[in-house]
């Protein structure tokens, strides 16, 4: 179903109208110095750099300082950081993480012109990310608490979609929570404005209207249409991620932890049932569906979540419909009967407080590296023939899953930061995707000299998954 464009008073496109009516809540001119903040400890580290907990010397407030990595300084300021800063300054909602400042760390020697200033994004300090809480063995969610978090997530997502913004990396690691029970959506490095209708009550999103990059969404939260290489996607991709997060809160771990894109699809078919023209019309016509013949199966969602009641099962089925055109939107999900059933959603202030659950804190919970992959940071995503004619059943995750590159117990990492207008950073590409255009041969760089290639799997750094990285 293709919806007509939203009416705008001045006759402009929905995107232009949204841009003109968003007003920044947190505006700042110039930048602070890093010396304006007192560092109190590291929250995480990894290929993205370091994130520190700090206290503002001016206000006394706790903040998080996220380093902006300049991988290739000659290319200028990273486009993904620019996009994130731009969106965070425009957005204003209690369930969206705010950007409070940009801090600059200048070289210790002013005469040293070879060293460039280091930039930090300053955001409010949040005590946890959702994945950190789920990793904490001392934390056990009650159903009323899950409803509270899920309702806040949907309210934040409604705000984004109503302003024509796709998040495109919806997952537990990107949901920050404080000890007052407030949940905020974070990490807008993959977000972009969306040229399409906003969600309306009783109206699924239908078909998309323009092509977008498929290199988005962490694999475990990636919807089937992206795995089948649909490019004209809609806000329904974020809704699928909400369904994955909802299921994760119920069972305490990711519900679709695929080891490759092909395996990810197989897990989806197990959960939601095999695709056919009734439940997912036109799936065979998608680039990734032409060569697939999944075995028939009814889906085990009902039996897998039977202990959580009919309301939870009903909402999960709507959030995780195979057909993106009829998948429930965020507006209707908020009005689902599940939130009116006992127990009712807990008030945020009534949610228990927990010890901080960050990446470095979680090491004391799980003294082992992760064995499952992040989303792709380059190369081919999905299943089906790639540009070289090879089957793109594997992606970055195959290498990460076996090598432990940036991996943690069972969590995910950030996806590739490319976009229609963005560049691809060589050092952010996973080993499996560092392929030269040589007829599809899988020759990998050794990570030290791009002129030397190696077929060996080189181990990478321990995976980082703190709540502010990305």
Binding-site positions for ATP read 66
Q: Closest Cα partner for 198 from 165, 161, 157, 170?
A: 161
State the DSSP string of 354-421: ---B-HHHHTTT--SB--S----SSS--SSSB-TTSSB----HHHHHHHH-TT-BSS---------TT
Among this protein's residues, is 266 annotated catalytic?
no
Residue 390's CB: how many other CB atoms inside 10 A? 15
Please say whether the beta carbons of 359 and 466 come within 8 A.
yes
151, 330, 148: which is closest to 237 by C-alpha?
330
Single out the catalytic residue among 101, 127, 169, 398: 169
Annotated binding site: 66
Strand partners, 96: 185
Angle made by CA atoms 252, 260, 141, in degrees to the nearest 5: 5
CA distances from 414 to 136, 348, 378, 400 (A): 21, 28, 12, 12
Residue 357 CA to residue 341 CA, distance in Å, equals: 30
Residue 128: which H helix or E strand, with range?
A: strand 128-129
Question: What is the rounded distance in angstroms from the CA atom of residue 133 to the CA atom of residue 123?
Answer: 20
My answer on whether omega of the bond before 370 falls inside 30° of 0, hence cis, is: no
* Catalytic residue annotation: 169
């Amino acid at each position: 179903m293709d919806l007509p464009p939203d009416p705008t008073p001045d006759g402009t496109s929905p995107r232009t109208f949204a841009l003109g009516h968003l007003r920044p809540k947190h505006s700042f001119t110039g930048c602070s110095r890093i010396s304006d903040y007192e560092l109190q400890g590291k929250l995480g580290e990894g290929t993205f750099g370091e994130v520190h907990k700090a206290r503002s010397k001016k206000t006394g407030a706790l903040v998080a300082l996220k380093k902006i990595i300049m991988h290739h300084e000659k290319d200028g300021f990273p486009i993904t950081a620019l996009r994130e800063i731009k969106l965070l300054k425009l957005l204003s909602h209690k369930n969206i993480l705010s950007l409070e400042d940009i801090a600059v760390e200048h070289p210790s020697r002013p005469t040293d012109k070879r060293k460039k200033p280091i930039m930090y994004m300053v955001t409010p300090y949040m005590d946890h990310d959702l994945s950190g809480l789920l990793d904490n063995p001392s934390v056990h969610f009650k159903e009323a608490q899950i409803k509270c978090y899920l309702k806040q997530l949907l309210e934040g997502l409604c705000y984004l979609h109503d302003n024509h913004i796709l998040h495109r990396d919806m997952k537990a690691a990107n949901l920050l929570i404080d000890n007052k029970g407030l949940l905020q959506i974070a990490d807008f490095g993959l977000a972009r404005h969306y040229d399409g209708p906003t969600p309306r009550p009783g109206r699924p999103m239908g078909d998309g209207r323009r092509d977008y990059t498929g290199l988005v969404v962490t694999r475990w939260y990636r919807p089937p249409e992206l795995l089948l290489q649909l490019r004209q996607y809609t806000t329904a991709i974020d809704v699928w991620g909400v369904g994955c997060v909802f299921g994760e809160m119920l069972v305490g771990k990711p519900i679709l932890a695929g080891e490759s894109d092909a395996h990810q699809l197989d897990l989806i078919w197990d959960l939601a049932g095999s695709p056919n023209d009734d439940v997912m019309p036109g799936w065979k016509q998608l680039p990734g569906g032409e060569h697939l013949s999944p075995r028939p199966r009814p889906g085990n969602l009902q039996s897998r979540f039977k202990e959580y009641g009919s309301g939870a099962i009903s909402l999960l089925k709507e959030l995780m419909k195979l057909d993106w055109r009829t998948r429930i939107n965020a507006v209707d999900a908020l009005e689902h009967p599940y939130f009116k059933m006992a127990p009712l959603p807990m008030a945020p202030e009534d949610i228990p407080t927990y010890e901080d659950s960050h990446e470095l804190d979680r090491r004391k919970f799980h003294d082992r590296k992760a064995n499952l992959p992040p989303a792709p940071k380059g190369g081919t995503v999905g299943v089906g023939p790639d540009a070289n004619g090879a089957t793109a059943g594997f992606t970055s995750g195959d290498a990460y899953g076996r090598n432990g590159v940036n991996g943690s117990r069972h969590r995910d990492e950030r996806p590739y930061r490319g976009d229609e207008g963005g560049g691809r950073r060589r050092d952010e590409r996973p080993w499996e995707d560092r392929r030269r255009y040589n007829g599809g041969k899988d020759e990998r760089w050794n990570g030290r000299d791009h002129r030397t290639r190696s077929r060996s799997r080189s181990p990478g750094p321990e995976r980082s998954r703190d709540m502010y990285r990305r």
